[in-house]
Amino acid sequence: MRFDAIRQKYPKFIYKNYSYKIEAGSLGISFIFEVPPDISFHPVIVIKSVPTSGVGTLDNLVFHVGLMEMLSYWKATCSPEIIIEAGCLNDGQIKWWKNLIINGMGQFFYENKIDWRASDFIQIRSLQTPDVCKFYRHRVSVRLRDRYLVPFAGGRDSIITLEGLKKQKKDIALFTVNPVSKIQKVVKVSGIKKQIIVNRIIDKKLLALNKSGYLNGHTPFTGLLSFISALCAVMFDYKNIAFSNEKSANEGNLKYLGKTINHQWAKSSEFEKMFKDYCRRYLAKNLNYFSFTRKYGELEISRMLTRYPRYFPVFSSCNASMRINAKGSLAAKERWCGNCPKCLFVYLTLCPYLEEKQLLKIFGENLLQKSKLQPILKSLLGRGGHKPFECVGTYAEAKKAFNLCLKNSKIRK
């Protein structure tokens, strides 16, 4: 479906409402997004085993989770006007959200050949004014316990964060979203008993629209994790949220219409600072949101991982092996698909530090000798197309890893 035609048919996207309640120990959150004249979405988020006290103070945090979840549905029509009925935003917040959309949806705009530069490309209108909005300025200001919530998906980065905090004797809970069995295997190896589990359930109507030709593409998922983790940190009484985003996330993939498009923008230092400031001003004054691995490069992360061989049989950094099924939930396949840029990049950065026997045991094959992956390898090294739209490191890091492998005779010249 053509971009102009779909925007003309669907000029307004409405964040209508949200609701939440505790049932059987879990907090169920429902959102209503409407796209007149004929589309409505009802996604759900379920947070398991929640404490029963303090839930009544969560309106503002839940509302903000909905604002971030909204982008996954807005992208189907890319409506020029977003109307907020579920809560209220002041002028500064509206400016913040426009900035997030333009930067965080950059890959989506590139993939769909969308020009966002017109002043009327997107307008955000908050129908409730701050003086009547029931939770305006209701940021949480209670003192939170000096404990650490670690977003965890079983990859290299979050393992390094977790093990680093364990060495510091911190009180830790893992924060997992749709933790399928392969993630839970890594959780078990970690030895961490406390886990905050979130199930995100996508409205199947969105999947149907994607199949029928409505707009689709990348959204800043780490941004969504940031807002959900802030909600969970407040609910479960954790002061610190320790993400695992490296400095390499700051490098973009390509230029489009004069702007750097960065697949990992929501993992970048820019977003981290934006969210930290927004969180303290509008969400929870005392939350400490940061990235534990920000100072490290990808080769450093891989080298540090080799200190923890017990994770070798279970860890996975492959995103392609996680698919959304027809029910809108994640269905895990094998740990490593062996065909994507992420698999190849992780193999490349581990190659200088592990014997081939160990690499084969982890990945099942030598990915550097796989002919179908050679075009991807060239793009990682800056010798082909743009850097792949995946969570991979910088060109410089890939080149350094490649040269180390050559030096160690692990790659045929």
How many other CB atoms are found less than 10 A from the CB of residue 79? 22
Please list, in sequence order, all residues whose beta carbon lies within 8 angstroms of the beta carbon of residue 113, skipping any fewer than 6 positions away: 3
> How high does pLDDT run on average in the chain?
93
Number of H helices, E strands in the chain: 15, 15
Please write the tens of the pLDDT for every residue from 361-403: 999 999 999 999 999 999 999 998 899 999 999 999 999 999 9
Return the structure tokens found at 382.
């800056």
pLDDT at 321: 62
259 compared with 408, residue with greater pLDDT: 259
pTM of the model: 0.95
What would the pLDDT profile of 296-334 be if each residue is shown by its tens digit? 999 999 999 999 999 999 999 998 866 565 555 555 568
Amino acid 133: pLDDT: 66
Residue 410 has pLDDT above 90, yes or no: no
pLDDT at 413: 46
Spell out the residues 6+ positions from residue 137 whose beta carbon is closer than 8 angstroms to its own: 130, 282
Rounded mean pLDDT of 335-342? 94
CA-CA distances (angstroms) from residue 4 to 107, 109, 214, 372?
Answer: 18, 13, 12, 37
Greatest pairwise CA separation for the chain in angstroms: 69
Tokens of 127: 């129908």
Instruction: For residue range 119-144, list pLDDT tens digits in order.
Output: 889 999 998 766 656 555 567 778 89
- Give the chain's radius of gyration (CA, Å): 22
Residue 250 has pLDDT above 60, yes or no: yes
Residue 103 has a pLDDT of: 97
Distance between CA atoms of 193 and 33, rounded to whole angstroms?
A: 36
Per-residue confidence band for 105, with pLDDT thresholds at 50, 70 and 90: very high
Beta bridge partners of 81: 12, 123
